[in-house]
């Protein structure tokens, strides 16, 4: 269905133009990492740990080295003791001294072809001494549990981490006085919720290609969400200066947080340095499952107190996260989950706190929603229970309590653009809520709402005029398939008032692009878009200065005209970008380069309002809002729930490209549906039991309803580019809760553990029949 | 595996000779399962004997004794639309149409599925309800084994080294019978959590034929001929159905796996079977 849209017409913004790279992708000509080759290239492969926790006693690489075609074998002994990590620097390029999860890379090989490399890797003998394992956060935090990182206290941390033994991080935020507030409540509900590990499952597995230039520069291409994070991670864990690594990107076959921090790049670089030849490594699906990263399993205790009339009074949320063997983004996920755990509501009293623990699992990390889908599931399921107990319609109860204009987010950050109320009203109508809720047939419907951030950290843009008056836009932001090259081009074209095809978007390259923290946190449209507007305005200022000379006028009296012209306001006299380009390249001043950089700087915590401990970030982002209704059908014989419909209303500030907003909604829905109903990484005593697509099931076309209804709500973000804010994650955040609530409506079964498998639903149905 | 280990014979005799010459040899039909297992290094055959040019294995024909013989190389997509399968025997087509996805159904063969014998595979459940036979060729000649003796244990069949499945033999359907094949899968195209096949016929209000087979709930399809027999001649009321489904559930021996728990399968069997029998009754009454 075509998204609905209402705003003031703009020249390029607000138009659903096709993606700038659609053609090459549809034709199969776009190049991804697996397709890149370099002359004389070798292939890398790795050996993975067979133990979840073990000391490495010795390596024997002789058999592998003897294989014809093998050029080099590296083990932990070949690596110096350097460490990387976005929050806690606790991870080397390869296991050294000990292994901390089953599947962890312990050695690697470079050979003339992939088959030889893979076969040789299996010939490396490693002697281990097994150590006791900790396979749950509860076990990890028990007194006397085996410790994963004996040197945790000495590791460098980028924030004031509360960390000790297997406690990786503790975070707490509180406002008001929860403990006293319970007395004011007429109804208090408290439950425990549990969520499972989900795999990112990018169609394209992770891979990298590294090559050392004669002068020592390392060229590194990889599947990534940030060429700059790749550069930083590789340099940190290999002890290289950043000026020696040039990180670049081919097309990326999706990233959902899995390609933000390092995967195989450090090993690939190490092999290229050791062999002095280009080396490519592409993970198999199984290796990708076993060694990259996944969504955190959560245990959530959620307690909510309300007045008889439905007014929210207090909420307390306690979280326990499995962090896996390395910190990676875990402290950030815990911090964000804490911040999101009261949802887009006004609670006079609220407290959220939680722990993330090291365990002998694969690292858990960033994944679309960054801890928010888990806490939204708990909170929104509980609000429905409250609505049922009070006999209030779930949408009415939410309308009564969502953040009003001017109210702050939990922690104290001001919220400028807030369309949550309108989102709720829109889905109520589009889903035919009031009628469907009354008819208790086989199907059920459920609502959920959420807010999510878009923002974080630094970004930049360079807008450079070419000799003929066309432009190159360079931001360093990796387009991971979501369409940011297109959106940033539209923003730039709007600011310059020129057609899309006069702008070329440069591919990210740490040698040439301005810094960009990454394609993550729903941030590129919002933060990088702001930098693009700033850079384009800088270019326009210069263009007008030169136009003023040509037009014998004052720059202030000039205006941009559509199609690349500068004219005198109220007069016909004008000059083209072509002429300005020629003039600045060959005669006057110098070629035009506009640039702008920024770092997101709105504070998340207002110390006058809230108390926070162990927060991993200070300035997180602006807020996007969504409401969604899901419809499900329940098979009464098997308990199987199937999705029958979805209605979204999302406040994106301003849709730069409504078609791409819809794409994010459709994709977020499908991924959220998989998370809600089917997907689960299952460990059997430390071993991942389903690291293949044969055994790990995602929804296909038969499981996703054909028509996902989308309403775009636009409450402009004051400092967003043309009012825009992000949409990448919020579309997944609301899904599990709305499905869960729909299952309850359809069957009377309230599930508090994900995924909502046929087994869990059927057990609920049978239990209800008995009682 | 090198190219030297790949053979492309055209007759059954050649195939069995090639298989007999090497204990580590494997025949490859559609390759859907075998090649995936080779990629995962679960099997490393020393030689591959391709069946793709053996015309005898591609036929569907009625034998002199009236049984339908489906060649081992007949693909799932063709079984799914085979006109020769009528009345209750249509469960075989239903089972075929629910295997995996169109790509796999275009590759995979009935002989490959039966020979591979994944405990969650669809055909074995249907073949068990049908009372089918497996025809096998080897250097020693040809033999036929009833399905009830062919599927032995987890991934184990009566096949011996050097054996080639030549065809699957299906008896003529009971007059006026109907068939129901039900599969519960996590997502469409996945291997089933549990499968049920029912073939039933009635004369007036009395059951004249009943075969019920349950899959995915133990090492091999579960059939209880005695319990089925007890219902023949009766009107198949609720109590009779409950008796049968209870026995099937007791006879099952499911395990916990990545698709579902054993306990859930135990819970499912009576519900799925009762539903299938109920549906069969409706079909017979409505004459569909
Ligand atoms: C993604 C996927 C999903 C699947 N889903 C399902 C499903 O939902 N339901 C289901 O039932 N099956 C499923 N399967 C299995 C599928 O049905 C396979 O096609 C079938 O098991 C093998 O048939 P094939 O012809 O490809 O055999 P091959 O892969 O060629 O061979 C399989 C094995 O059988 C042996 N073999 C082959 N032909 C003969 C013969 N004539 N005589 C003796 N031995 C023989 C081979 O040596 C080999 O050991 C799935 C497979 C895949 C890859």
Q: What is the pLDDT of residues A561-603, one digit of tens each?
A: 999 999 999 999 999 999 999 999 999 999 999 999 999 999 9
Q: Match 């969520």 to its residue by tokens.
A: A195
Whether A441 shows a pLDDT value over 90: the answer reads no
Q: Match 């009833």 to its residue by tokens.
A: B146
Q: Which atom of ligand 1 lies at the shortest distance from residue B165's CA?
A: 42
Determine the distance separating the centroid of ligand 1 and the alpha carbon of B34, expressed in angstroms.
Answer: 7
What secondary structure letter does DSSP report for B83? T
| Bond into A755 cis (ω within 30) | yes
Residues B194 and B268: beta-carbon distance below 8 Å: yes
Alpha-carbon span A621 to A79, nearest angstrom: 38
Interchain pair A678, B187: CB under 8 A: yes
User: What residues are paired with A473 via a beta bridge?
Assistant: A463, A505
Interface probe for A, chosen from B99, B121, B186 (most Cβ of A below 10 Å), is B186
- Counting other chains too, the contacts that A541-550 makes at CB distance below 8 Å and 24 or more residues apart are A541/A594, A542/A589, A542/A592, A542/A594, A543/A465, A543/A577, A543/A580, A543/A592, A545/A589, A546/A580, A546/A583, A546/A584, A546/A588, A546/A589, A546/A592, A547/A575, A547/A580, A549/A588, A550/A575, A550/A579, A550/A580, A550/A583
Interchain pair A759, B187: CB under 8 A: no
Closest by CA to A683, choosing from A50, A133, A135, A51, is A135
B residues 149-168 lying closer than 8 A (beta carbon) to A: none
Whether A6 shows a pLDDT value over 90: the answer reads no
Q: For position A5, what pLDDT does the model report?
A: 44
Q: Does A690 touch chain B (CB under 8 A)?
A: yes
Name the residue at shortest CA distance from atom 49 of ligand 1. B116
- Residue in chain A nearest B272 by alpha carbon: A637
Determine the distance separating the centroid of ligand 1 and the alpha carbon of A700, expressed in angstroms.
Answer: 22
Whether A440 shows a pLDDT value over 70: the answer reads no
Alpha-carbon span A690 to A105, nearest angstrom: 19
Alpha-carbon span A333 to A293, nearest angstrom: 13
Q: How far is A740 from chain B (nearest CA, A)?
A: 17
Whether A4 shows a pLDDT value over 50: the answer reads no
Q: What is the pLDDT of residues A469-494, one digit of tens each?
A: 999 999 999 999 999 999 999 999 99
Determine the distance separating the centroid of ligand 1 and the alpha carbon of B159, expressed in angstroms.
Answer: 15
* Cα A279 off chain centre by: 29
Name the residue at shortest CA distance from atom 20 of ligand 1. B113
Closest by CA to B135, choosing from B171, B165, B162, B170, is B165
Q: What is the pLDDT of residues A237-296, one digit of tens each?
A: 999 999 999 999 999 999 999 999 999 999 999 999 999 999 999 999 999 999 999 999
List strand residue ranges (DSSP E) for B149-272, in order.
151-153, 156-157, 164-170, 178-184, 194-203, 206-215
Stretch(es) of chain B classified as CATH 3.30.390.50: 178-286
Interchain pair A700, B260: CB under 8 A: no
Q: What is the pLDDT of residues A150-159, one digit of tens each?
A: 999 999 999 9
Whether A143 shows a pLDDT value over 70: the answer reads yes
Weakest mean pLDDT among A90-99, A179-188, A520-529, B237-246: B237-246
Q: How far is B256 from chain A (nearest CA, A)?
A: 11
Residues A467 and A582: beta-carbon distance below 8 Å: yes
Determine the distance separating the centroid of ligand 1 and the alpha carbon of B28, expressed in angstroms.
Answer: 9
Q: For position B288, what pLDDT does the model report?
A: 54
Stretch(es) of chain B classified as CATH 3.30.465.10: 5-170
Q: How confident is the model at residue A8 (pLDDT cuts 50, 70, 90)?
A: low
HEC string of A263-322? CCHHHHHHHHHHHCCCEEEECCHHHHHHHCCECCCEEEEEEEEECCCCCEEEEEEEEEEE
Contact list in B for residue A690 (CB cut-off 8 A) is 258
Determine the distance separating the centroid of ligand 1 and the alpha carbon of B31, expressed in angstroms.
Answer: 7
Q: What share of chain B is helix, strand, coil (3-state, %, to 5)?
A: 40, 25, 40
Q: How far is B148 from chain A (nearest CA, A)?
A: 28
* ipTM given for this complex: 0.94
Contact list in B for residue A695 (CB cut-off 8 A) is 258-259
Interchain pair A698, B260: CB under 8 A: no
Whether B245 shows a pLDDT value over 60: the answer reads yes
Domains and CATH numbers, chain A: 7-30+457-599 (3.30.365.10), 36-131+205-252+259-291 (3.90.1170.50), 298-448+619-770 (3.30.365.10)
Interface A–B counts its CB contacts (< 8 A) at 47
Contact list in B for residue A762 (CB cut-off 8 A) is 264, 267-268
Q: Which atom of ligand 1 lies at the shortest distance from residue B109's CA?
A: 25
Interchain pair B264, A759: CB under 8 A: yes
Interchain pair B187, A699: CB under 8 A: yes
Q: For position A1, what pLDDT does the model report?
A: 38
CATH architecture of B178-286: 2-Layer Sandwich (3.30)
Q: Does B186 touch chain A (CB under 8 A)?
A: yes
Alpha-carbon span A692 to A608, nearest angstrom: 50
Contact list in B for residue A682 (CB cut-off 8 A) is 258
Q: What is the pLDDT of residues A602-656, one digit of tens each?
A: 999 999 999 999 999 999 999 999 999 999 999 999 999 999 999 999 999 999 9
Q: Which atom of ligand 1 lies at the shortest distance from residue B136's CA?
A: 42
Contact list in A for residue B188 (CB cut-off 8 A) is 700, 702-703
Q: For position A2, what pLDDT does the model report?
A: 41
Weakest mean pLDDT among A122-136, B31-45, B48-62, B200-214: B31-45
Pick A700's closest partner by Cβ from B189, B258, B264.
Answer: B189
Name the residue at shortest CA distance from atom 37 of ligand 1. B112
B residues 24-43 lying closer than 8 A (beta carbon) to A: 36
Determine the distance separating the centroid of ligand 1 and the alpha carbon of B29, expressed in angstroms.
Answer: 8
Closest by CA to A634, choosing from A751, A743, A736, is A743
Q: Match 């990454």 to its residue by tokens.
A: A518
Cβ count near A477 (within 10 Å):
33
- Residue in chain A nearest B266 by alpha carbon: A759
Contact list in B for residue A678 (CB cut-off 8 A) is 186-187
Alpha-carbon span B145 to B169, nearest angstrom: 10
Q: For position B41, what pLDDT does the model report?
A: 82
Whether B254 shows a pLDDT value over 50: the answer reads yes
Contact list in B for residue A698 (CB cut-off 8 A) is 187
Ligand 1, CB within 6 Å, residue ranges: A 694; B 26-34, 36, 51, 72, 99-100, 104, 107-109, 111-113, 115-116, 121-123, 164-165, 191
Choices 3.30.1330.10, 3.30.1370.140, 3.30.465.10, 3.30.200.20: CATH for B5-170: 3.30.465.10
Q: What is the mean pLDDT of chain A?
A: 96
Determine the distance separating the centroid of ligand 1 and the alpha carbon of B25, expressed in angstroms.
Answer: 16
Interchain pair A690, B258: CB under 8 A: yes
Q: How far is A116 from chain B (nearest CA, A)?
A: 14
Determine the distance separating the centroid of ligand 1 and the alpha carbon of B253, expressed in angstroms.
Answer: 24
Whether A432 shows a pLDDT value over 70: the answer reads yes
Residues B48 and B28: beta-carbon distance below 8 Å: yes
Q: For position A591, what pLDDT does the model report?
A: 98
Q: How confident is the model at residue B137 (pLDDT cuts 50, 70, 90)?
A: very high
Contact list in B for residue A703 (CB cut-off 8 A) is 187-188
Interchain pair B271, A759: CB under 8 A: no
Contact list in A for residue B190 (CB cut-off 8 A) is 697
Q: Which atom of ligand 1 lies at the shortest distance from residue B35's CA?
A: 29
Determine the distance separating the centroid of ligand 1 and the alpha carbon of B45, expressed in angstroms.
Answer: 16
Alpha-carbon span A605 to A617, nearest angstrom: 10
Q: What is the pLDDT of residues B109-125, one digit of tens each?
A: 999 999 999 989 999 99
Q: Does B118 touch chain A (CB under 8 A)?
A: no
Contact list in B for residue A638 (CB cut-off 8 A) is 184, 268, 271-272
Q: How confident is the model at residue B3 (pLDDT cuts 50, 70, 90)?
A: low
Residue from B104, B107, B156, B159 whose mutation best tests the ligand 1 pocket (most atoms within 8 A of CB): B104
- Residue in chain A nearest B187 by alpha carbon: A699
Q: Does A758 touch chain B (CB under 8 A)?
A: yes
SS3 A688: strand
Pick A759's closest partner by Cβ from B187, B261, B275.
Answer: B261
* Cα A391 off chain centre by: 37
Pick B260's closest partner by Cβ from A690, A698, A759.
Answer: A759
């Amino acid at each position: 269905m075509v998204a609905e849209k209402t705003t003031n017409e703009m020249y390029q913004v607000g138009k659903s133009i096709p993606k700038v790279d659609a053609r090459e992708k549809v034709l199969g000509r776009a190049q991804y990492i697996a397709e890149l080759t370099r002359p004389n290239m070798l292939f890398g492969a790795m050996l993975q740990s067979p133990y979840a926790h073990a000391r490495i006693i010795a390596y024997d690489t002789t058999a592998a080295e003897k294989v014809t075609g093998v050029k080099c074998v590296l083990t932990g002994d070949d690596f110096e003791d350097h460490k990387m990590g976005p929050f806690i620097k606790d991870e080397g390029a390869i296991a050294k001294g000990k292994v901390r999860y089953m599947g962890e890379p312990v050695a690697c090989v470079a050979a003339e072809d992939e088959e030889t490399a893979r076969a040789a890797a299996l010939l490396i003998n490693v002697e281990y001494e097994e150590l006791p394992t900790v396979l749950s956060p509860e076990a990890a935090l028990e007194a006397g549990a085996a410790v994963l990182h004996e040197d945790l206290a000495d590791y460098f941390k980028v924030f004031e981490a509360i960390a000790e033994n297997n406690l990786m991080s503790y975070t707490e935020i509180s406002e008001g006085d929860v403990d006293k507030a319970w007395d004011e409540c007429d109804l208090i509900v408290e439950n425990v919720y549990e969520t499972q590990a989900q795999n990112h499952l990018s169609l394209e597995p992770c891979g990298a290609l590294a090559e050392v230039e004669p002068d020592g520069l390392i060229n590194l291409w990889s599947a990534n969400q940030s060429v700059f994070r790749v550069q930083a991670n590789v340099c940190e864990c290999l002890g290289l200066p950043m000026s020696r690594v040039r990180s670049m990107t081919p097309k990326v076959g999706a990233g959902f947080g899995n390609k933000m921090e390092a995967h195989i790049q450090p090993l690939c670089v190490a092999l290229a340095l050791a062999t002095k030849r280009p080396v490519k490594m592409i993970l198999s699906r199984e290796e990708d499952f076993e060694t990259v990263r996944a969504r955190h399993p959560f245990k959530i205790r959620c307690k909510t107190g309300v007045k008889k009339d439905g007014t929210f009074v207090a909420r307390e949320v306690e979280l326990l996260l499995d962090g896996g063997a390395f910190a990676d983004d875990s402290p950030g996920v815990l911090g964000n989950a804490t911040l999101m755990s009261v949802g887009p509501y006004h609670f006079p009293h609220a407290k959220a706190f939680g722990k993330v623990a090291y365990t002998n699992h694969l690292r858990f990390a960033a994944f679309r929603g960054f801890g928010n889908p888990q806490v939204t599931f708990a909170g929104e399921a509980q609000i429905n229970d409250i609505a049922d107990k009070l006999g209030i319609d779930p949408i009415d109860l939410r309308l009564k309590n969502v953040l009003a204009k001017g109210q702050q987010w939990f922690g104290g950050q001001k919220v400028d653009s807030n369309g949550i109320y309108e989102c709720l009203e829109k889905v109520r109508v589009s889903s035919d809520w009031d009628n469907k809720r009354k008819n208790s047939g086989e199907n059920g419907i459920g609502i959920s709402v959420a807010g999510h951030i878009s923002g974080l950290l630094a970004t930049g843009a360079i807008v450079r005029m070419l000799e003929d008056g066309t432009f190159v836009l360079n931001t360093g932001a990796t387009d991971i398939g979501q369409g940011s090259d297109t959106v940033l081009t539209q923003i730039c074209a709007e600011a310059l008032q020129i057609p899309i095809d006069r702008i070329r978007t440069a591919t990210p390259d740490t040698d040439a692009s301005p810094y960009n923290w990454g394609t993550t946190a729903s941030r590129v449209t919002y933060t990088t878009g702001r930098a693009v507007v700033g850079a384009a305005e800088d270019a326009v200022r210069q263009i007008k200065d030169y136009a003023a000379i040509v037009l014998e006028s004052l720059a202030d009296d000039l205006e941009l005209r559509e199609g690349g012209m500068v004219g005198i306001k109220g007069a016909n006299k004008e000059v083209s970008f072509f002429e300005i380009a020629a003039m600045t390249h060959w005669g006057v001043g110098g070629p035009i380069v506009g640039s702008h950089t920024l770092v997101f700087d709105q504070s998340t915590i207002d110390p006058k309002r809230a108390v926070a401990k162990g927060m991993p970030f200070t300035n997180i982002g602006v807020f996007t809002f969504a409401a969604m209704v899901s419809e499900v059908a329940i098979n009464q014989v098997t308990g199987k729930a199937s999705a029958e419909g979805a209605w979204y209303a999302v406040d994106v500030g301003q849709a730069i490209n409504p078609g791409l907003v819809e794409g994010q909604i459709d994709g977020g829905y499908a991924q959220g549906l998989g998370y809600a109903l089917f997907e689960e990484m299952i460990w059997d005593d430390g071993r991942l039991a389903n690291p293949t697509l044969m055994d790990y099931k995602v929804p296909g076309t038969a499981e996703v309803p054909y028509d996902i209804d989308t309403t775009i709500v636009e409450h402009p973000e004051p400092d967003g580019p043309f009012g825009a804010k992000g949409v990448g994650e919020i579309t997944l955040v609301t899904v599990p809760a709305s499905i869960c609530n729909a299952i309850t409506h359809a069957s009377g079964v309230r599930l508090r553990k994900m995924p909502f498998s046929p087994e869990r639903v059927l057990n609920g149905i049978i239990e209800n029949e008995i009682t | 595996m090198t190219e030297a280990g790949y053979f492309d014979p055209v007759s059954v005799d050649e195939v069995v000779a090639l298989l007999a010459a090497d204990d580590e040899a494997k025949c490859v039909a559609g390759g859907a399962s075998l090649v995936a297992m080779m990629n995962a290094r679960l099997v490393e055959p020393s030689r591959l004997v391709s069946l793709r040019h053996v015309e005898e294995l591609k036929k569907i024909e009625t034998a002199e004794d009236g049984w339908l013989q489906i060649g081992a190389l007949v693909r799932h997509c063709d079984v799914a639309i085979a006109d020769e399968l009528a009345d209750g025997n249509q469960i075989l087509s239903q089972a075929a149409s629910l295997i995996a996805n169109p790509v796999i159904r275009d590759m995979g063969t009935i002989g490959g599925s039966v020979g591979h014998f994944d405990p969650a595979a669809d055909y074995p459940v249907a073949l068990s309800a049908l009372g089918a036979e497996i025809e096998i060729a080897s250097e020693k000649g040809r033999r036929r084994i009833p399905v009830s003796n062919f599927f032995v244990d987890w991934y184990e069949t009566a096949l011996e080294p050097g054996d080639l499945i030549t065809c699957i033999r299906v008896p003529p359907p009971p007059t006026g019978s109907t068939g129901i094949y039900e599969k519960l899968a996590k997502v469409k195209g996945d291997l089933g959590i549990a499968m049920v096949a029912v073939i039933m016929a009635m004369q007036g209000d009395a059951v004249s034929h009943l075969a019920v087979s349950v899959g995915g709930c133990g090492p091999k399809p579960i059939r209880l001929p005695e319990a089925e027999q007890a219902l023949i001649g009766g009107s198949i009321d609720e109590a009779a159905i409950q008796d049968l489904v209870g026995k099937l559930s007791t006879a099952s021996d499911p395990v916990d796996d990545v698709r579902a728990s054993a306990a859930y399968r135990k819970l499912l069997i009576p519900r799925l079977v009762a539903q299938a029998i109920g549906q069969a009754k409706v079909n017979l009454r409505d004459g569909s």
